[in-house]
């Protein structure tokens, strides 16, 4: 399918930029185009950028796309991230997006079935921390914070460690909507509702990051819902 798509646009004299298509990821047709182009480029097994960007695009579809498509997109994204990590093990992108896709897969399966991914997710995120803790605004610390929050204590989870990692991530970007929201969830679960409400409000007040505006809008909507409910 992807090869046919690329042949079609080549004949037509067009070559859409997958990065530009990804920037328009809220449009299902655009993000699907990006996936098809990146999949074709990654198919040879040597294109690091295509592989990790495919994993990133699949993560969007797997978390924001039509529900029937989500799990297959996340599985594809995890494989693409694994490919990128194998091609460039000293770069953070493949490790992170592999972990992100596996994390979303784990949540889609539910607590007990999803636990089978926990070790691989944690290992990949710790690899990112070892490579560059500041990468992508402290994304590895943020994701590890969420890992420690979602995994039961019997299997290594810890609200205390979750809070430590999330506050560390805020050191890289104090207005990150996703980090603020995750920290608010941890504090709310710990019964610290006043602190949590203040953080939800910070999510609403935070400026949109041009690179992550679609995600910012999503977390702002979630924060508004939490404030109405709590």
- Give residue 36's Cα distance to chain centre: 19
DSSP letter assigned to residue 43? T
- Report pLDDT digits (tens) over 26-56: 999 999 999 999 999 999 999 999 999 999 9
Mind listing the pLDDT tens digit for each residue in 77-93?
Answer: 999 999 999 999 999 99
> What is the value of pTM for the model shown?
0.91
SS3 content of the chain, % helix, strand, coil (to 5): 80, 0, 20
Residue tagged 């935070």 (tokens): 206
List domains and CATH numbers for the chain.
1-132 (1.25.40.10), 135-230 (1.25.40)
């Amino acid at each position: 399918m992807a090869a046919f798509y690329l042949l079609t646009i080549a004949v037509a004299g067009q070559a859409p930029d997958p990065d530009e298509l990804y920037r328009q990821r809220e449009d299902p047709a655009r993000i699907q185009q990006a996936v098809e182009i990146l999949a074709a480029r990654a198919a040879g097994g040597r294109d690091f950028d295509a592989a990790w960007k495919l994993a990133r695009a699949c993560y969007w579809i797997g978390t924001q796309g039509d529900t029937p498509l989500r799990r297959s997109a996340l599985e594809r994204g995890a494989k693409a991230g694994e490919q990128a990590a194998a091609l460039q093990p000293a770069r953070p992108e493949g490790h992170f997006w592999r972990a992100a896709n596996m994390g979303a897969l784990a949540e889609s399966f539910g607590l007990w079935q999803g636990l089978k991914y926990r070790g691989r997710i944690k290992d990949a995120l710790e690899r990112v921390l070892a490579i560059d803790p500041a990468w992508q605004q402290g994304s590895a610390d943020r994701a590890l914070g969420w890992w420690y929050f979602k995994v039961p204590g019997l299997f290594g989870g810890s609200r205390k460690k979750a809070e430590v990692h999330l506050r560390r991530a805020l050191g890289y970007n104090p207005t990150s909507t996703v980090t603020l929201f995750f920290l608010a969830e941890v504090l709310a679960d710990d019964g610290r509702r006043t602190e949590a409400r203040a953080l939800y409000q910070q999510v609403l007040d935070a400026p949109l990051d041009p690179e992550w505006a679609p995600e910012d809008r999503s977390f702002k909507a979630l924060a508004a819902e939490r404030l109405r409910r709590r």
